[in-house]
Structure 1
Amino acid sequence: MTLEGILDIVGAALILLGATFTLTAAIGLVRLPDVLNRMHAASKPQSLGFLLLCAGLAIVLREPGATTVLALAAGMQLVTAPVATQMMGKAAYRTGQFRSDIVVVDDRTPEDQPDDEDLEGGGETR
């Protein structure tokens, strides 16, 4: 077997693994019960799946231009997805839009609980 054949097999395996992680993330978004759980599915397996897809494509394509674009896309994914899901989780936590019966530890104090003014946008944000 040639080196190109081995690289094609490794690339295909990475693409398949990445697609599996991405499918797992999509299923998690549909099946998980609340925002705090769904944000994990939206960032962790989806980001790993995308990175594996990019690595597999770079190995299969073996072109400098394509590899550069894939590296740029992977870098942007690493920067934007976790930050966006963190902000969504914080917003859901602050507004109380999560299932409190499945939260194991809740660090909010009574002063941190949202008021009606805070939910309507009239309160001060922190």
Structure 2
Amino acid sequence: MSAFLSAVCLLIGTFFVIVASVGLLRLPDLFIRMHAATKAGTVGLAFLLLPVAITLQEVTVTSRIVSILFFILITAPVAAHLLGKAMMQKGYKIWRGNPDE
């Protein structure tokens, strides 16, 4: 049962990481790209680390994974916010959409 749950988590995590990668390539604006990378990348990383804790089931491994996830969940949104704030202060133009649409 734990192997099946690990496989499902790995597939979900891979999906989110691929969505984050495609978002970085396809989205038009720095702020929208940051949003895709932060949200999908963080969730993808969480789902990729979760199977390690499920499979190994050791206290030391699980505590390290929880620590890593806590660190990533705290720092990734803050870093994206600070980067966006710095770009706004620098005068980066926000994408308003294609006027020909």
Name the TM-score, length of structure 2 as normaliser.
0.86
Matched positions, count:
97
Following superposition, the deviation at residue 96 of structure 1 comes to 2.4
Q: Please tell me whether residue 86 in structure 1 is matched to residue 63 in structure 2.
A: no
The CA distance in 2 between the partners of 1:36 and 1:46, in whole Å, is 15
The CA distance in 2 between the partners of 1:55 and 1:89, in whole Å, is 29
Following superposition, the deviation at residue 75 of structure 1 comes to 0.6
- In the other structure, the counterpart of 1:36 is 31
The CA distance in 2 between the partners of 1:85 and 1:67, in whole Å, is 27
Look up the SS of the partner of 1:65 in the other structure: helix
Following superposition, the deviation at residue 46 of structure 1 comes to 0.6
The CA distance in 2 between the partners of 1:100 and 1:32, in whole Å, is 10
Does the aligned pair in 1 maintain the 2:53–2:62 contact within 8 Å? yes
1:62-89 Cα deviation digits (max 9, x unpaired):
1221111111110110011110001111
Out of 3, 7, 12, the residue aligned to residue 7 of structure 2 is 12
Name the TM-score, length of structure 1 as normaliser.
0.71
Cα distance change on mapping 1:50 and 1:17 into 2, 3 Å:
same
Seq. identity, %: 35
- In the other structure, the counterpart of 1:111 is none
Cα distance change on mapping 1:60 and 1:98 into 2, 3 Å:
farther
Does the aligned pair in 1 maintain the 2:29–2:95 contact within 8 Å? no
Does the aligned pair in 1 maintain the 2:28–2:95 contact within 8 Å? no
Following superposition, the deviation at residue 100 of structure 1 comes to 4.1
